[in-house]
């Protein structure tokens, strides 16, 4: 009753139909598993968003309190260490999964016409994942975080001509410090997520719009699904 | 018989996989969101901390006259530790049983003082007057002076500088 009322006014069932009850290529074994990498990445992305929001409830992006607030999460908050662990390992898994997903698309030739823009947006998403990794790594504000970001900023400083300016913009000043931490935090929890949501939306839209490409070795049946 | 036939007929590979995905996915979702919810509502679940502040040896406190004692309250605020200079009015008649008054008037929170001559606590803000035991004698306060929990252990007096109940 209520569902029908809602459906008449929102059309969610046809949206559901388009998203989840669509034809996908037949695949077996390892090939079939390779097709799950994109969904797996999306799942980890959602886990990162949720655990990230939870961590942000207690984390303070200031040199005095950053590390103490993380210790508070680890020691005082219920399952805090586990949630932080999920976010930590999810970040690593994100890089691995996006890489594997990309390899899958590359070796199956799935980036070819008409899916070039899906690939381009996907590469942008890969860069965003690296951006998340780089900005998130600084946030614990321990020795490892600090010095690896120093190295990262020095790398940016090596860019010809623009390098020194780039490094200053990254650090939010002449040296690594409080401004660097707040800057990285803002990028990590506001700027990058907003861009990511838009990009993930575009990526998924294109995936549904074009349908999933068939595995290359499969025999083509002109009547079969898959454009 | 019918049942098992029905079952065989109904549980196709597709249906089995569908069910497996829903059940396993639901379990994963429940565990993950359960952990998230636990994290989110953990302030409700934590035990209340007891922060006793040592006020020194019992023997040093004069009998039958309110004494103002200064102390430094070290309070943990999540990941921040705050130090606050604070004080308390302590009254004892026998050196064993103590009353500790919150040094703020129950009217609007002004600090009051002890008047030796009148033998009363006087609040300068709105002329509130309290007796030595905290009763309201005159003025606008809605209730007697608030008390802090008191503890005597090994000859030393300590208080917990938080008003438990407002009588």
Give chain B positions within 8 Å (CB) of A58: 78-79
**pLDDT-wise least confident of A98-107, A170-179, B49-58, B99-108:** B49-58
Q: Decide if B68 contacts B89 (C-beta within 8 A).
A: yes
Mutation pick from A23, A32, A39, A78 vs chain B, by most beta carbons of B within 10 Å, is A78
Over pLDDT 90: what percentage of chain A?
85
Written as six digits, the tokens of A26 are 């037949």
How far apart (Å, rounded) are the C-alpha atoms in residues B44 and A216? 55
Q: What is the pLDDT of residues A191-208, one digit of tens each?
A: 999 999 999 999 999 999
Total number of residues shown for chain B: 167
What is the layout of strands, in order, in the sheet containing B150-153? B53-57, B156-159, B150-153
Give chain B positions within 8 Å (CB) of A76: 46, 78
* Predicted pLDDT of residue A224: 55
Q: What is the pLDDT of residues B69-83, one digit of tens each?
A: 888 888 788 888 888
**pLDDT-wise least confident of A64-68, A74-78, A218-222, B39-43:** A218-222
A46: left (phi over 0), alpha (psi -120 to 50) or beta: alpha
SS3 content of chain A, % helix, strand, coil (to 5): 70, 0, 30
Q: Which helix (H) or strand (E) holds A44?
A: helix A37-56
> Of A48, A50, A43, A70, which is closest to residue A59 (Cα–Cα)?
A70
Q: Decide if A164 contacts A174 (C-beta within 8 A).
A: no
Cβ of residue B40 closer than 8 Å to a chain A Cβ: yes
Q: Decide if B53 contacts B161 (C-beta within 8 A).
A: yes
Q: What is the pLDDT of residues B83-110, one digit of tens each?
A: 888 899 999 888 888 899 999 999 998 9
First to last CA, chain B: 73
Q: What is the pLDDT of residues A130-146, one digit of tens each?
A: 999 999 999 999 999 99
How far apart (Å, rounded) are the C-alpha atoms in residues B123 and B138? 11
Residue B3 clears pLDDT 80, i.e. is over it? no
Contact state of A71 with B79 under an 8 Å Cβ cutoff: yes
Question: Could you tell me the CA-to-CA distances from A23 to A12, A118, B154 in Å, in that order?
Answer: 19, 19, 79
Q: What is the pLDDT of residues A64-119, one digit of tens each?
A: 999 999 999 999 999 999 999 999 999 999 999 999 999 999 999 999 999 999 99
Residue B164 clears pLDDT 80, i.e. is over it? no
* Predicted pLDDT of residue A49: 97
Give chain B positions within 8 Å (CB) of A82: 35
Q: What is the pLDDT of residues B105-154, one digit of tens each?
A: 999 989 999 998 989 999 999 999 999 888 999 999 999 999 999 888 88
* Predicted pLDDT of residue A227: 46
What is the layout of strands, in order, in the sheet containing B113-115? B113-115, B120-123, B128-130, B136-138
Among B39, B41, B78, whose Cβ lies nearest the Cβ of A72? B78
Give chain B positions within 8 Å (CB) of A65: 79-80
Average pLDDT over chain A reads 93
pLDDT band at B1 (very low <50, low <70, confident <90, very high): very low
Contact state of B78 with A76 under an 8 Å Cβ cutoff: yes
Mutation pick from A45, A51, A55, A77 vs chain B, by most beta carbons of B within 10 Å, is A77
How far apart (Å, rounded) are the C-alpha atoms in residues B59 and B62? 8
List of residues 6+ apart from B6 with CB closer than 8 A? none
- How large is the average pLDDT for residues B27-49? 89
Q: What is the ipTM, given to two decimal places? A: 0.83
Contact state of B38 with A57 under an 8 Å Cβ cutoff: no
**pLDDT-wise least confident of A15-19, A103-107, A185-189:** A15-19
List of residues 6+ apart from A135 with CB closer than 8 A? A184, A185, A187, A188, A192
- CB atoms inside a 10 Å sphere around CB B69: 18
- Cα A192 to its chain centre, rounded Å, is 9
Question: Could you tell me the CA-to-CA distances from A191 to A57, A97, A187, B25 in Å, in that order?
Answer: 18, 22, 5, 31
DSSP 8-state secondary structure symbol assigned to residue A13 = H
Contact state of B36 with A80 under an 8 Å Cβ cutoff: no
């Amino acid at each position: 009753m209520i569902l029908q009322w809602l459906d008449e006014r929102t059309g969610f069932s046809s949206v559901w139909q388009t998203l989840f009850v669509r034809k996908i290529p037949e695949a077996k074994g390892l090939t079939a598993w390779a097709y799950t990498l994109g969904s797996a990445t999306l799942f980890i992305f959602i886990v990162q968003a949720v655990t990230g929001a939870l961590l942000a409830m207690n984390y303070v992006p200031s040199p005095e309190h950053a590390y103490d607030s993380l210790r508070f999460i680890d020691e005082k908050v219920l399952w805090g260490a586990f949630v932080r662990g999920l976010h930590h390992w999810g970040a690593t898994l994100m890089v691995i999964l996006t890489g594997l997903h990309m390899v899958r698309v590359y070796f199956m030739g799935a980036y070819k016409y008409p899916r070039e823009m899906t690939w381009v947006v996907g590469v942008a998403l890969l860069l965003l994942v690296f951006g998340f990794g780089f900005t998130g790594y600084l946030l614990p504000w321990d020795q490892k975080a600090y010095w690896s970001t120093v190295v990262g900023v020095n790398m940016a400083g090596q860019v010809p001509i623009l390098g020194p300016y780039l490094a200053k913009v990254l650090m939010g000043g002449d040296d690594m410090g409080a401004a660097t931490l707040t800057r990285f935090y803002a990028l990590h929890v506001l700027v990058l997520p907003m861009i990511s949501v838009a990009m993930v939306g575009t990526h998924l839209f294109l995936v549904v719009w074009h349908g999933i490409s068939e595995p290359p070795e499969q025999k083509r049946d002109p009547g079969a699904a898959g454009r | 018989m019918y049942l098992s036939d029905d079952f065989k007929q109904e549980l196709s590979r597709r249906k089995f996989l569908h069910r497996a995905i829903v059940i396993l996915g639901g379990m994963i979702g429940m565990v993950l969101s359960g952990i998230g919810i636990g994290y989110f509502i953990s302030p409700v679940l934590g035990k209340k901390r007891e922060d006793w502040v040592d006020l020194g040896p019992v023997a040093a406190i004069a009998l039958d006259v309110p004494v103002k004692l200064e102390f430094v309250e070290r309070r943990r605020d999540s990941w921040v530790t705050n130090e606050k200079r604070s004080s308390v009015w302590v009254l004892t008649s026998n050196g064993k049983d103590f009353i500790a008054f919150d040094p703020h008037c129950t009217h609007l929170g002004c600090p009051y003082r002890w008047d030796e001559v009148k033998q009363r606590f006087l609040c300068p803000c709105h002329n509130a007057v309290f007796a030595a035991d905290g009763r309201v004698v005159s003025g606008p306060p809605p209730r007697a002076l608030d008390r802090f929990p008191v503890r005597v252990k090994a000859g030393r007096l300590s208080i917990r500088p938080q008003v438990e109940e407002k009588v």
